[in-house]
């Protein structure tokens, strides 16, 4: 073990790596509750998504640990699962099978980006301010989804002025009615989880979800007598997995994805949106946590633009992240990505892939608790969504808001994600306004040819939507 993971070289020990692995797992284990609750809204079987989430996390994290030898864990990404459900399926009208096919293609694209110099071109094409805006915008989107799931906002059309009906057809959301036990539960959960998070309690989000679920029992939101232990067993999860496993390639998935020529630009844009979010999420996590701790050397960071193949740990880690996305799509989940919560384990001393192996083992053990997972109400996971969204807003601090040349595109990219309830539309409008601002300032050369192509495709997509 010492020789394989190079523990002494990385100035760590087996016990330290194990503690780091446990820390990372509890910091990110909320995904076991949240991912199935989001993706199952598309019609995917809850238990199938639960098991697919575990399998994708195990495989992705093991590849990260055993191949790249870095202490990062992978699981279906927050924001990306919301994009999958609320934008691709609900907003654009694709089937969940087609959405899985898009995720699979995204994974292949990211693999190609990782092993060739295409990665260099794409990274240089996206302005740094826009990368931060996309990260913060996804935070707004995720938090908004959490607020909706908590029912803290009332979208019901009513006659009272307080309900915000404008011109009879447009609705301004109003505050929910607090005589509802579900809303009361969500508020209790939000307050409790917020306190745990700000006090830096390890596993704060997971503790908040569990505690809120327990409180839901006396409030009558959760009925323990209604638990179907057989339907939510591991055996049934395995059975339901047959519904999602390989569905990306079936008649309702890949085989029909490109059947409508008029929708091909939209499909391509959606895949690009998946890929951009996934790629820059991962790069930000690696650089943000790896530089300070020495996990990645300066050579690794430079390799992000200049190398190809697997010459450094950064190359191997990026490949592990990319391949995990396609593997996850095969089993039935949205993009698998490197979790920023890995920073918790790194902060506990994790420096090698042994940390990742421990995380993968804990994910495997969690498969035995499927029946308990099923009773968790949406109001218990909503605070997790809200607070994860808050954490993602940290990206905004790196945007120079006093400089309108930078602020205007960042505003449209980030705020529009929430207001339009679409991550891809936010990215599209942000990129378009970036080009508009640069052209107005006479800085044509600062716009990459790749960005011109992407903008042309975005505009074409909007034209097609307008015609249809």
Encode pLDDT of 354-378 as tens digits: 999 999 999 999 888 767 766 788 8
- Do residues 249 and 101 lie in contact, with contact meaning Cβ atoms separated by under 8 Å? yes
At residue 8, the pLDDT reads 87
Q: Which of 85-89, 95-99, 376-380 has the lowest average pLDDT?
A: 376-380
Element (H, E) at 188: helix 181-198
Nearest to 232, CA basis, from 382, 89, 40, 361: 40
Mean predicted lDDT score pLDDT of the chain: 84
Q: What is the pLDDT of residues 35-68, one digit of tens each?
A: 999 999 999 999 999 999 999 999 999 999 999 9
Q: Give the whole-number percent of the chain exceeding pLDDT 90.
A: 36
Q: Taking the mean position of all CA atoms in its chain, how far away is CA 307?
A: 27
Residue 303 has pLDDT above 70, yes or no: no
Q: Which residue has the tokens 């327990």?
A: 214
Residue 166 has pLDDT above 50, yes or no: no
Residue 397 backbone phi and psi in degrees, to 5: -65, -20
Residue 83 has pLDDT above 50, yes or no: yes
Residue 231 has pLDDT above 50, yes or no: yes
Q: Higher model confidence: residue 180 or residue 333?
A: 333
Element (H, E) at 154: strand 153-154
Q: Helix or strand or coil: residue 169?
A: coil
How far apart (Å, rounded) are the C-alpha atoms in residues 63 and 449? Answer: 34
Buried b (16+ CB within 10 A) or exposed e, 367-405: beebbebbbbbbbbbbbbbbbbbbbbbebbeebeeeeee
E strands, 312-428, are 336-338
Mean pLDDT over 129-145 rounds to 83
Cβ-defined contacts of 196-199 (< 8 Å, 24+): 197/387
How far apart (Å, rounded) are the C-alpha atoms in residues 301 and 311? Answer: 12
Residue 232 has pLDDT above 90, yes or no: no
Q: What is the pLDDT of residues 42-51, one digit of tens each?
A: 999 999 999 9
Q: What is the pTM of this model?
A: 0.75
- Do residues 185 and 379 lie in contact, with contact meaning Cβ atoms separated by under 8 Å? yes
Give CA separation, 373 vs 24, 84, 191, in Å.
20, 22, 22
- Do residues 56 and 326 lie in contact, with contact meaning Cβ atoms separated by under 8 Å? no
At residue 162, the pLDDT reads 44
The number of CA neighbours under 13 Å toward the Cβ of 321 is 30
Q: Vertex 221, ends 217 and 227: CA angle to 5°?
A: 70
Q: Vertex 41, ends 370 and 166: CA angle to 5°?
A: 140
């Amino acid at each position: 073990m010492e020789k394989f993971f190079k523990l002494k070289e990385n100035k760590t020990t087996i016990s330290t790596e194990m503690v780091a692995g446990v820390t990372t797992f509890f910091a990110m284990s909320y995904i076991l509750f949240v991912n199935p609750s989001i993706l199952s809204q598309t019609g995917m079987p809850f238990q199938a998504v639960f098991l697919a989430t575990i399998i994708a996390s195990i495989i992705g994290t093991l590849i990260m640990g055993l191949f790249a030898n870095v202490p990062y864990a992978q699981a279906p990404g927050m924001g990306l699962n919301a994009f999958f459900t609320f934008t691709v399926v609900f907003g654009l009208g694709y089937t969940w099978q087609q959405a899985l096919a898009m995720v699979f293609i995204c994974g292949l694209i990211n693999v190609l980006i990782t092993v060739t110099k295409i990665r260099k071109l794409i990274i240089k094409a996206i302005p740094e301010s826009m990368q931060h805006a996309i990260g913060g915008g996804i935070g707004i989107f995720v938090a908004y989804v959490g607020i909706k799931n908590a029912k803290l906002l009332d979208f019901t059309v009513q006659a009272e002025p307080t309900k915000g009906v404008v011109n009879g057809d447009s609705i301004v959301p109003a505050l929910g009615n607090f005589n509802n036990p579900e809303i009361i539960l969500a508020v209790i959960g939000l307050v409790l989880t917020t306190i745990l998070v700000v006090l830096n309690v390890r596993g704060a989000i997971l503790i908040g979800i569990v505690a809120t679920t327990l409180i839901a029992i006396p409030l009558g939101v959760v009925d323990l007598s209604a638990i179907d232990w057989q339907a939510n067993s591991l055996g049934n999860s395995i059975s339901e997995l047959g519904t999602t496993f390989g569905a990306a390639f079936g008649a309702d998935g890949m085989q029909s994805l490109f059947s409508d020529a008029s929708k091909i630009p939209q499909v391509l844009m959606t895949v690009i949106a998946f890929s951009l979010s996934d790629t820059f999420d991962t790069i930000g996590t690696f650089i943000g946590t790896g530089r300070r701790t020495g996990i990645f050397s300066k050579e690794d960071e430079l390799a992000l633009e200049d190398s190809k193949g697997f010459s450094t740990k950064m190359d191997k880690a990026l490949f592990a992240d990319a391949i995990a996305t396609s593997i996850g799509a095969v089993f039935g989940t949205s993009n698998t990505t490197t979790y920023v919560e890995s920073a918790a384990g790194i902060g506990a001393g994790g420096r090698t892939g042994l940390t990742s192996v421990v995380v993968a083992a804990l994910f495997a053990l969690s498969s035995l608790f499927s029946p308990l997972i099923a009773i968790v109400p949406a109001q218990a996971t909503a605070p997790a969504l809200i607070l994860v969204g808050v954490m993602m807003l940290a990206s905004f601090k790196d945007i120079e808001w006093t400089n309108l040349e930078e602020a205007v595109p960042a505003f449209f990219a980030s705020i529009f994600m929430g207001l339009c309830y679409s991550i891809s539309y936010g990215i599209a409008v942000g990129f378009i306004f970036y080009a508009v601002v640069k052209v107005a300032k006479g800085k044509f050369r600062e716009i990459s040819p790749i960005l011109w192509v992407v903008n042309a495709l975005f505009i074409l997509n909007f034209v097609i939507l307008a015609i249809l």
